[in-house]
């Protein structure tokens, strides 16, 4: 595959003129680069900006994050979603304190050994913090390279990603690998966007194969094989004298270790969840919940159909895993965003 001799120079010139003033932009601390990259994995920049600033203020270094409780970390992460990121970061910080004496490892292979850090994040940290020539391939980069160089291969295949990675190594300014990676990611984020890219002012308009062949809308090619899993959640909100009941999710599933109202999952939408609500109390047969609200919540590979019901009383006996708290105390627990929104609704 042919390269463009002046690609890196053109890209870095564009970056100097067009880069956004982001709070982590000039950072060379591997810890802070790591935090920013993890936040941005599944979060838009405008949403992640304040989360990043708050997170760094609360946990300014690896030791502060390692010494914190998981509850504290999850509280700071509320609303960002994909909570496994927060759990992995907390675990990794403790791993760094134990295995690396509190110093972030300074080479790619060691960074890859850290929990929750994949090829992309390791490459970003390695190149930006330690000036190592590893290309950071996120969705923006895969799109840009596919379009400019006319790569008509499925970018969800490892073979395609490997080929693009090798091409990026050849294109990269080896003296400025971190700057090159940031520039390429930024180019995809604000110039060569998924929809309505700014082709009319693109510095690569004469070299871009997708533009020349009028295939901007077609590239990059994606063939997703995974099926969407549909689930049915039924939440029961118990209210009595400004008190309610919550439980912690401990299964190896979404929202692990976060708190929620007591919940029953059914196989179908029409299945009666009350049959599975095990409360030991004879009052249950007489007390019927009031339907409150139904919402749909989309995750990466799951569609959650969620119904909320209200019980205006407590049972004489409840599950041992249930926790009775005041409604105001809900703010002290990390909650999935769907639960947090309902809390505002019932208040």
Measured CA angle at 177 (ends 22, 156), to 5 deg: 85
pLDDT in single tens digits along all 347 residues of the chain = 566 779 999 999 999 999 998 888 888 899 999 999 999 887 888 888 989 999 999 999 999 999 999 999 999 998 888 889 999 999 999 999 999 999 999 999 999 999 989 999 999 999 999 999 999 999 999 999 999 999 988 898 899 999 999 999 999 988 999 999 999 999 999 999 999 999 999 999 999 999 988 889 889 988 765 567 889 999 999 988 889 999 999 999 999 999 999 999 988 777 777 766 655 443 455 567 888 888 888 887 788 989 999 988 766 667 888 999 999 999 999 999 999 999 887 76
Q: Which fold has domain 229-346?
A: Nucleoside Triphosphate Pyrophosphohydrolase (3.90.79)
- β-strand 290-298 against 302-311: which pairing, if any? antiparallel
Q: Residue 246 CA to chain centroid, in angstroms? A: 25
Domain range list for the chain: 7-212, 229-346
pLDDT of residue 206: 93
State the Cα–Cα distance between residues 304 and 232, nearest whole angstrom. 6
Report the candidate in 13, 40, 11, 8 with the shortest Cα–Cα distance to residue 24. 40
pLDDT of residue 135: 95
pTM of the model: 0.74
Query: Are 7-212 and 229-346 equal in CATH topology?
Result: no
State the Cα–Cα distance between residues 4 and 324, nearest whole angstrom. 64
CATH of the structural domain 7-212, one choice from 3.90.1150.10, 1.10.340.30, 2.70.150.10, 3.90.870.10: 1.10.340.30
Q: At what angle do helices 119-130 and 30-40 cross, to 10 degrees?
A: 140
State the Cα–Cα distance between residues 87 and 318, nearest whole angstrom. 29
Active site residue 37: yes
pLDDT of residue 277: 62
**Per annotation, catalytic residue among 16, 17, 27, 37:** 37
């Amino acid at each position: 595959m042919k390269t463009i001799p002046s690609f890196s120079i053109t890209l870095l010139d564009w970056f100097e003129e067009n880069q956004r003033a982001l709070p982590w932009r000039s950072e060379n601390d591997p810890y802070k680069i790591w935090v920013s990259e993890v936040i941005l994995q599944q979060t838009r920049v405008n949403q992640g900006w304040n989360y990043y600033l708050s997170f760094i203020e609360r946990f300014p270094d690896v030791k502060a994050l390692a010494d914190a409780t998981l509850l504290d970390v999850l509280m700071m992460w509320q609303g960002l979603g994909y909570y496994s990121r927060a759990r992995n970061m907390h675990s990794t910080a403790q791993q760094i304190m134990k295995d690396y004496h509190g110093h972030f490892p300074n080479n790619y292979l060691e960074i890859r050994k850290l929990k929750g850090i994949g090829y992309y994040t390791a490459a970003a940290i390695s190149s930006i913090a330690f000036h190592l020539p590893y290309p950071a391939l996120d969705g923006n980069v895969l799109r840009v390279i596919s379009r400019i160089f006319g790569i008509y291969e499925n970018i969800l295949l490892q073979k395609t990603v490997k080929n693009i990675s090798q091409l990026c190594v050849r294109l990269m300014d080896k003296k400025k690998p971190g700057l090159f990676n940031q520039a390429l990611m930024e180019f995809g984020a604000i110039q060569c966007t998924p929809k309505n890219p700014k082709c009319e002012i693109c510095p690569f308009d004469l070299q871009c194969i997708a533009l020349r062949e009028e295939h901007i809308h077609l590239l990059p090619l994606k063939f997703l094989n995974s099926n969407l899993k549909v689930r049915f959640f039924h939440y029961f909100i118990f209210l009595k004298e400004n008190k309610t009941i919550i439980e912690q999710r401990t299964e190896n599933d979404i929202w692990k270790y976060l708190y929620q109202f007591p919940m029953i999952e059914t196989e179908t939408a029409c299945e009666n969840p009350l049959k599975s609500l095990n409360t030991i109390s004879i009052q249950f047969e007489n007390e019927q919940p009031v339907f409150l609200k139904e919402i749909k919540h989309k995750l990466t590979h799951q569609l959650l159909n969620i119904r909320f019901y209200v019980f205006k009383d407590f049972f004489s006996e409840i599950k041992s895993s249930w926790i009775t708290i005041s409604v105001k105390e809900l703010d002290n627990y990390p909650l999935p965003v769907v639960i947090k929104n309902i809390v505002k609704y019932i208040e």
